[in-house]
Structure 1
Amino acid sequence: MVTGKRGDGGAVLSWLPIVVMAVVAGIDLAAGPEGGFLPLVSLGPAFAGLIGTWRRTALIGSVALLLCAGLGVYDGLFDTRRGWTAMASVAGVTLAGALAAGSRMRREAELAGVRSVAEAAQSVLLRPVPRQVGELRAAVSYTSAVAESRIGGDLYEVVASPYGVRVIVGDVQGKGLAAVATAASVLGVFREAAHDEPDLTALAARLERTVAREADGEKFVTAVLAEIHTDEQVAVLLNCGHPPPMIVRADGSTDLPHPPAYALPLGLGMHGGEPPRTHRAGFAPGDQLLLYTDGVTEARDAEGVFYPLRERAGLLGDADAEQALAALREDVTRHADGSSHDDAAMLLLRYR
C-alpha cells in the first residue's frame, strides 16, 4: 500500500510541469495580451528541473519555448520587447533547470554509491547471525536511528565456542563513524576471544582492554554477554552497565535477571567500581532469551511514555523466530510513531 502511494505521488509530480504550462496558457488566452501571464510558462521547466532528468527538463523547456512563441504571436507581443523578454525568461529558466537536474543526478549517484559501501560495511561488521547454533535458534533485528543509514553503534554476535554458545549485545556511546569503529573493534575481539577465554569474566576483561586502549577514555560500551549451556539448561550472564535481558518462560511469564552488582560499561574500568561478575538464570526448552539495547526500552510515544517491553512479551509467541522478532520490532516502531532517536538492536534465542 505504501509503495502504491509513492508511485502515485511520483506520477503526479512528473505531470506537474505539463499541467502548469497548460494552466498558464489557458489563463493567458483568457486574459489577452494585457494580462502579462506569458513569462509564467517558464514554471514548466523550473518544476521539471526539480523532479526530472536534465534531458526531460530540456525537452519540457523546448515545449515551453514553442508554447511561448505561439502565445506571443497570438497576443501580438513580438512587436514589443515583452515577447522577446518572455522567450529569454523561458530559455534562461530551462538552462538553469537542466544544470540543476544534472547536478542533482550526480549527487543521487554518489549517495547510491555511499549506501552500497555502507551495506558492504554492515555485512562485515554486523554479519547475519547463524539461524541455528547447536540446539538453539537465533534471530536478530537491527534498526539505525540515523536517517538513510543502515549501520550504527549497536552491536551483536553469536558464536558457537568450546565453552557453549556465547552471545554479546552492546551499545557504543555516541553515533557516527567513531561509534561504528568502536563497535567493529569490540566485535572483532569478541569473535576471537569467545573461542579462547574459558569464562565470561576473562572475555569481558579482553573487551575492556580493547575499548580502553582504542577509545582512549572517550568512548564506552554497555554490553551484556551470555553463555548458554543447553545440557544444564542454564544461561550464564555478565552485565556491563547494560539493560538486563528478558527471559520469556514457556508459560508466558517473564523474568529480567539483574546482576548481583552492576559493573561499569566497557572502557571505564579505570574508574574503579564493581568488577563484572557472572550470574546464572534458568533457560529451559520452551523459554526464550531476548537481549536488546536501550533503543528498544527507551522508545517513547507522543506522551513521552517508554516502550513497555515486558508487557509486550506476548508478541514473541510466533512459532517462527524471525516473524516473532519482526512483530516486536513493528510494535516498537508504532509506539514511537515511526521516529526513533537511538539505534535499536534485538537478538532472540530459543531452543529448536
Structure 2
Amino acid sequence: MLQVRGRSVAWVPPLLLLIAIAAIDYHTTGEFRIISWIVLVPGIAAAICGVPGTAVFAVLSIGTFTIVDHGWPHEFQTGVPDFILVATGGVLATLACGVRVRGENRALHMRDVADTVRRTVLRPLPPSWGGLENAGVYLTADAGARVGGDFYDIQPGPYGTRVLVGDVQGKGLGAVETAAALLGTFREAGYYEPELATVAERLEERMLRHRSYTAALGRADGDRFATAVLLGFPADADQPDTGRPDTGRADAAGPGTVGPGTVEAVVFGHEPPLAVGPAGVRPLPVTGGLPLGLRELDPAPVRVHRLPLAADETLLLVTDGVTEARDAGGAFYPLVEELARTVARDPRAAEPARLAAAVRDGTLRHSGGHLNDDTTVFAVRRIRGPGANAPKG
C-alpha cells in the first residue's frame, strides 16, 4: 500500500512526523515543549518500516531531540528524563519491529504452503483443454486460509472429457483432505473408465472408504459427505451408444446415439448446472442423487442424464457460496435473474471467462464482500470447430 511506482515510501510518514514535531516545538514558548513527543516517530516506523528503517528513525529521533532541546539555551529544557524516554522508545520500537517482521515472514511462509496445497488439490487448468474452454474462480470464506472444501477439475481421456465440481461438507484440513481424495479418484477413473456411471460409482466408493479411514482414526469428521456434479462430454459425437445407463435421458439425437450437442450429467445432491447462452439462462433438468457418502440411504443405480446442449451455451456450476450469498437484508443472491440481465445486455458474457468473472463480482457485490461459505464458480463449454471435442491428454 505504501508504494509509488513500485518504490516503497513507508519512510515518508515518520519523517514528516519528525519534522512536524520539531517545527511545532520551535514555535512554542515558555515551559510548554512537545519535543518529547518525538518518541512517536520510531513507534510509527515500527508499524510500517523494516527493522533497519526503524533503527534509523530511532537514531534520528534521539539526535533531533538532543539538538532541539539544547538549541535554545534560554528556553525551558526537558532534560535527561525525556531523553531517556526517547532513547528507550527507540530501542523498544526497533525490537517490536523485529517481532512484527518475523511474524510477517512466518505468515508469508504459511501462505506459500497454503498456495502449494491449493495447487496440489486444485491443479491449474489450461483455459482450453480436452476440447473444452473453461474458467474457474475459487474464493475461501476465510481469506487467510486460501484453500477449503470446494473442488473442481477437468480430465480428458479416450472416452471423452469429464468435469467434476463439488463441495465437501464442513471446513478445515479435513475437508481439504476429502476433496483431495475425491479428485485423485476422479483423475484416474475419469481417464480409464468408458462409462460415466462407473466414474460416479468409483467416486462413491472412494468417499465411503475415506469415511471409514477417518472413523478408524477416531476423528470427529467420520460422517463427512460431499455434493458434486459430474459431467461427461463424449469424445466422438457420432459414436453409437452401447448399453450406457440412460435413466432420465433427454437425448437430442434420439435413442441409440450420442448427439453432437449432448452432455452427460450425474448429480450428487448438488445444485444443477445452468446452461447460459445468448438465448438466455436455463437450469439443466437433472434431479435425484444423494451426496457422495450417503448411498446407503438410497442404493438405487446411478442416474446418468443425457441432455441437449447448444454449441453457444456455457455450462455454469457453482457451490453454496454463490447460492447462499445474502445481502444486508438477508435476501439470497438472484443468480439466474442477474445472469439473464447480463447476457441480454451483452451476449459475449456467456463466454466462460466473462461468465465466471460476472458471477464472482455479482456474488461479492451482493454479499458486501462477506462470504459465509467457500465459493466456487466454474464455467465450461465445447470449443467450436470440427474435431474440437477430441481429448488431448
Q: What amino acid is aligned across from residue 58 of structure 1 in structure 2?
A: A
* Of 273-282 and 297-306, the range deviating more from structure 2: 273-282
Q: 1:16 to 1:312 in 2, by over 3 A?
A: same
Q: What amino acid is aligned across from residue 86 of structure 1 in structure 2?
A: D
Match of 1:228 among 230, 233, 256: 233
Match of 1:292 among 305, 315, 318: 318
Equivalent position of 1:26 in the other structure? 23
Q: Does 1:165 align with 2:161?
A: yes
* Of 173-182 and 321-330, the range deviating more from structure 2: 321-330
Equivalent position of 2:173 in the other structure? 177
Q: Does 1:44 align with 2:41?
A: yes
Q: Does 1:15 align with 2:46?
A: no
Map 1:196-215 → 2, pairs under 5 A: 196-215=192-211
Q: Does 1:218 align with 2:189?
A: no
Equivalent position of 2:380 in the other structure? 349
Equivalent position of 1:246 in the other structure? 274
Per-residue deviation at 1:42? 0.4
Per-residue deviation at 1:88? 0.6
Per-residue deviation at 1:154? 0.7
User: In 2, are the aligned partners of 1:33 and 1:75 still within 8 Å (CA)?
Assistant: no
Equivalent position of 2:253 in the other structure? none
Q: Could you give the per-residue CA deviations for residues 101-131 of structure 1, whole angstroms, max 9, x where no partner exists?
A: 1121122222222222222222222112343
User: In 2, are the aligned partners of 1:131 and 1:138 still within 8 Å (CA)?
Assistant: yes
Q: Whole-Å Cα distance in 1 between the matches of residues 275 and 225 of structure 2?
A: 26
Q: Whole-Å Cα distance in 1 between the matches of residues 11 and 172 of structure 2?
A: 36
Q: Whole-Å Cα distance in 2 between the matches of residues 275 and 326 of structure 1?
A: 37
Per-residue deviation at 1:21? 2.6
Per-residue deviation at 1:329? 1.9
Q: 1:7 to 1:332 in 2, by over 3 A?
A: farther
User: In 1, are the aligned partners of 2:29 and 2:75 still within 8 Å (CA)?
Assistant: no
Q: 1:64 to 1:6 in 2, by over 3 A?
A: closer
Q: 1:246 to 1:326 in 2, by over 3 A?
A: same
Q: Could you give the per-residue CA deviations for residues 215-263 of structure 1, whole angstroms, max 9, x where no partner exists?
A: 343321111111123721222211111111111255224234231x2x3
User: In 2, are the aligned partners of 1:138 and 1:347 still within 8 Å (CA)?
Assistant: yes
Equivalent position of 1:139 in the other structure? 135
User: In 1, are the aligned partners of 2:265 and 2:286 still within 8 Å (CA)?
Assistant: no
User: In 2, are the aligned partners of 1:54 and 1:97 still within 8 Å (CA)?
Assistant: no
1:31 counterpart SS class: coil
Equivalent position of 2:50 in the other structure? 53
Per-residue deviation at 1:273? 7.0
Q: Whole-Å Cα distance in 2 between the matches of residues 30 and 36 of structure 1?
A: 9
Q: Whole-Å Cα distance in 2 between the matches of residues 347 and 20 of structure 1?
A: 49
* Of 223-232 and 310-319, the range deviating more from structure 2: 310-319
Q: Whole-Å Cα distance in 2 between the matches of residues 275 and 96 of structure 1?
A: 69
> Which structure 1 segments of 5+ residues have no match?
none
> Which structure 2 segments of 5+ residues have no match?
216-221, 238-258, 384-393
Q: 1:91 to 1:33 in 2, by over 3 A?
A: farther
1:228 counterpart SS class: strand
Match of 2:339 among 300, 306, 313: 313
Task: Return the TM-score normalized by structure 1.
Answer: 0.87
Q: Does 1:325 align with 2:351?
A: no
Per-residue deviation at 1:76? 5.0
Q: 1:308 to 1:98 in 2, by over 3 A?
A: same
Q: What amino acid is aligned across from residue 235 of structure 1 in structure 2?
A: V
Count, aligned residues: 345
Q: What amino acid is aligned across from residue 305 of structure 1 in structure 2?
A: A
Task: Return the TM-score normalized by structure 2.
Answer: 0.79
User: In 2, are the aligned partners of 1:144 and 1:343 still within 8 Å (CA)?
Assistant: yes
Q: 1:77 to 1:113 in 2, by over 3 A?
A: farther
* Of 147-156 and 40-49, the range deviating more from structure 2: 147-156
Per-residue deviation at 1:327? 2.8
Looking at both structures, which has the greater relative contact order when contacts are Cα pairs under 8 Å and sequence separation is at least 6? 2
Q: What amino acid is aligned across from residue 219 of structure 1 in structure 2?
A: R
Runs of 4+ in 1 over 6 A off after TM superposition: 77-80
User: In 2, are the aligned partners of 1:78 and 1:84 still within 8 Å (CA)?
Assistant: no
2:27 counterpart SS class: helix
Q: Whole-Å Cα distance in 1 between the matches of residues 381 and 136 of structure 2?
A: 12
RMSD: 2.8
Q: Whole-Å Cα distance in 2 between the matches of residues 26 and 131 of structure 1?
A: 59
Per-residue deviation at 1:74? 3.7
Q: Could you give the per-residue CA deviations for residues 65-109 of structure 1, whole angstroms, max 9, x where no partner exists?
A: 1121123214659998x4111111111111111111112112222
Q: 1:271 to 1:329 in 2, by over 3 A?
A: same
More helix, by proportion: 1
Map 1:267-278 → 2, pairs under 5 A: 267-272=293-298, 276-278=302-304
Identity, % of aligned positions: 36
* Of 20-29 and 121-130, the range deviating more from structure 2: 20-29
Q: What amino acid is aligned across from residue 246 of structure 1 in structure 2?
A: L
